[in-house]
Chain A
Amino acid sequence: MNDDFLHRIRIDPPRRFIARLKARLDLKDKESLKPLRRTWLRNAILLTLVGVSGLAAALIVTKIYRQESTSPTTSAAQVFQAPEPGNALAPLAPHVAGPTPAATSLVDSRAAGSFRMAGPSLFRSTVQESVRVLRRNGSFTEPDYDTKDSTAAVAAFCSAGAHLVDAVVLTRRILAGELKDCGAHGIKRVAEVKLGYQAIVFARSNLYPAPTLTPRDIVFALAREIPDPANAQRLVKNPNVSWGQVNSALLDERIDIPGPSANASAVTAVREILLDTACATFLSLVGDKSRLDDGCKSIRADSVYHEVPSDLNGYLEAHPEALALMDYKYFAVYRGQLAGASIDGVAPSEPSLTDGSYPASRTLYLYINASRADSIPRMRDFTAALVESVAMTPGTALMMLSETDRRASRMAAYTLSDLTL
């Protein structure tokens, strides 16, 4: 191939420029060592504070556990259940003993075709999608869907007289104590259907090693407000700009977290799965729950967290320190180009999502009042449609991990077998 005419266009760069750039790179090499020395003391102080706050939280939890374990009607599982948004560390809602006659008559008098659901906001679009699918083959009344966190949803489901909720979507499995409470309130037959998984991943380009983080590291890097290192009882605007400030065991790299917009499901998920739990440990220090909810459980809005560029993978290749927040669905598609950060030593993978060991994941379940199901036309079809719609609804970051999982859930949707725990 005669391409000499193209080779001739090359030139040698100006020597002055080459020498100047090299000198600048050498200087940066020397400068990069300084911040590590400067931040050592600050990191030691921060680590001490974090350790003290952790110890205080552990003591309080232990105290609560001792108090609760003296009550014969409350199980340890109830005490240690995952805190729900807006209900961090809140005890279960108290229930009255048994359904009132008025409540029973209210349930019976409801229109046969109408029903009501409660669950997380992210599942609303999946419900709507399922209704749309069902309506292709006949009429179907769209259920009323109330947004509630899992604890509140269970309380509404079991207190039939007050809330008349026929089905709930939970971001965790129902507890044995909760199921027992349902039975005590006249909800004798409860069916369980696994709806799918939701997980978030912090990933780099696989050109660079991904760090191992803890939920606490993520809070100190991502939350809008964190406990003041100088006075842990008050929250301050998150000052951390390097991972070394967050945790001295991490490399002292700039924190650069590209991620979706604030209202995206992955952001909601990171808040509900990671921030809620980790921020709750500061409650004993800060005291003000509403302030904690507002500050610690919100994502920072400065340049440390910023919306993903259109070519995320290209951005990650060119920015070695960037650690993008993404949902597992995206990570799974581009797994060959990405390296996911381990959280508490567990890497994001299908097995670690399935067995629940990956801390940034959760499983969604549907619970149905099976006694009511027969009086609602096409309820079983609707439940099966929910299972099918999980992977199809865009923007929810929900997924089924395997065909076996999907088949089992579809079967459970049609049989609506009584759950025993």
Chain B
Amino acid sequence: MTLEVSTFEQRVGMTQALPIDWDRIYAEHAPRVYNYFRFRLGTNVDVEDLTSRTFEKAWRSREKYNRNVAGFSTWLFKIARNVAVDHLRAQRNYVTIDESLQLATEATPETDAERSSNLARLAALTKDLSERDRDLLALKYGAVATNREIARVTGLSESNVGTLLHRLVQTLRSRW
């Protein structure tokens, strides 16, 4: 069994021996998890709820999980993915990514409007993709995970992740 310590975990001093700065971990990971759900599901209301659920599960057990088996970010995103799957399963008629954009109630600045518009475009383009491909995009561009981190979370090989993402981005760019 190898010790997985990602660049992020090295930066925050998250090794077996050193005390862990959980505030710093939260500050760095909360936006990643939030954006993962945005890319994956696109529903602003659910995104906050699902981000909360993910952190509540992780926080409750953060002292217990076995760091020799998985780095924190790998573990956190495994929880996030399962929360997403549970959500999709529970809501068969969940609001699609583009429909959800119509539900945004808060006034957003212009840049946010543009980003929302881009998210809607992305939603339209990824509508027919498989769950796996949407998950890869959400991990890469929502959670800003490295290919290595994605490989650990999904169980795919790192080279496979790179190849799949390359093809996905090429296809999306040509239609953008």
Q: Which residues of A contact B (CB under 8 A)?
A: 1-3, 5-14, 17-18, 21-22, 24-25, 28-29, 32, 206-209, 251, 311, 314-315, 317-321, 339
Contacts and interface: CB of A to CB of B under 8 A. Distances in A.
Nearest to A12: B31
B61 interface: yes
A321 B61 contact: yes
A318 B35 contact: no
A29 B35 contact: no
Interface string B29-69: 01100110011000000001001100111011100111001
A25 B59 contact: yes
B127 interface: no
Given A207-B69, A311-B85, A321-B61, 15 more contacts: A3-B169, A5-B176, A6-B137, A10-B38, A10-B144, A13-B31, A22-B23, A22-B26, A25-B26, A25-B59, A28-B56, A317-B79, A318-B82, A318-B86, A320-B64
A314 B141 contact: no
Nearest to B143: A10
Contact of B64 (A7, A10, A208, A317): A208
A339 B34 CA distance: 30
28 contacts: A1-B166, A1-B169, A3-B141, A3-B173, A5-B118, A5-B173, A9-B115, A10-B38, A10-B144, A11-B35, A12-B31, A13-B48, A13-B51, A17-B48, A21-B51, A21-B52, A22-B23, A32-B60, A207-B65, A207-B69, A209-B64, A311-B85, A314-B85, A317-B78, A317-B82, A318-B57, A318-B86, A321-B60
A9 B38 CA distance: 10
A13 B30 contact: yes
A2 to B, nearest CB: 6
B12 interface: no
Contacts of A1: 165-166, 169
Contacts of A32: 60
Contacts of A21: 30, 48, 51-52, 55
A21 B144 CA distance: 21
Contacts of B173: 2-3, 5
B55 A207 contact: no
B131 to A, nearest CB: 12
Contacts of A206: 66, 69
Ranked nearest first, the 7 interchain pairs of A and B with the lowest CB-CB distance are A320-B61, A318-B82, A13-B34, A6-B141, A25-B59, A9-B118, A318-B79
B66 A209 contact: yes
A11 B115 CA distance: 8
Given A28-B59, A207-B70, A319-B57, A10 B141 contact: yes
Contacts of B144: 10
Nearest to B32: A10
Nearest to A310: B89
Residue with the highest number of chain A CB atoms closer than 10 Å, among B64, B70, B137: B64
Contacts of B95: none
B122 interface: yes
B47 to A, nearest CB: 8
Contacts of A6: 122, 137, 140-141, 169, 172
B70 to A, nearest CB: 6
Nearest to A311: B85
B112 interface: yes
Contacts of B112: 11
B151 interface: no
A209 B38 CA distance: 32
A22 B24 CA distance: 11
A154 to B, nearest CB: 46
B68 to A, nearest CB: 9
B146 to A, nearest CB: 14
B122 A9 contact: yes
Contacts of A9: 38-39, 115, 118-119, 122, 141
A209 B69 CA distance: 11
A10 B142 contact: yes
A320 B39 contact: no
A255 to B, nearest CB: 14
B64 A29 contact: no
A205 to B, nearest CB: 9
Contacts of B118: 5, 8-9
B24 to A, nearest CB: 12
Residue with the highest number of chain B CB atoms closer than 10 Å, among A3, A17, A206, A321: A3
Contact of B56 (A2, A14, A25, A339): A25
A356 B137 CA distance: 50
Nearest to A11: B115
A117 to B, nearest CB: 44
Contacts of B85: 311, 314
Contacts of A11: 35, 38, 112, 115
B57 A8 contact: no
Nearest to B64: A208
A327 to B, nearest CB: 23
Given A10-B144, A13-B51, A25-B56, A318 B78 contact: yes
A207 B34 CA distance: 23
A24 B38 contact: no
Contacts of A317: 78-79, 82
Nearest to B70: A207
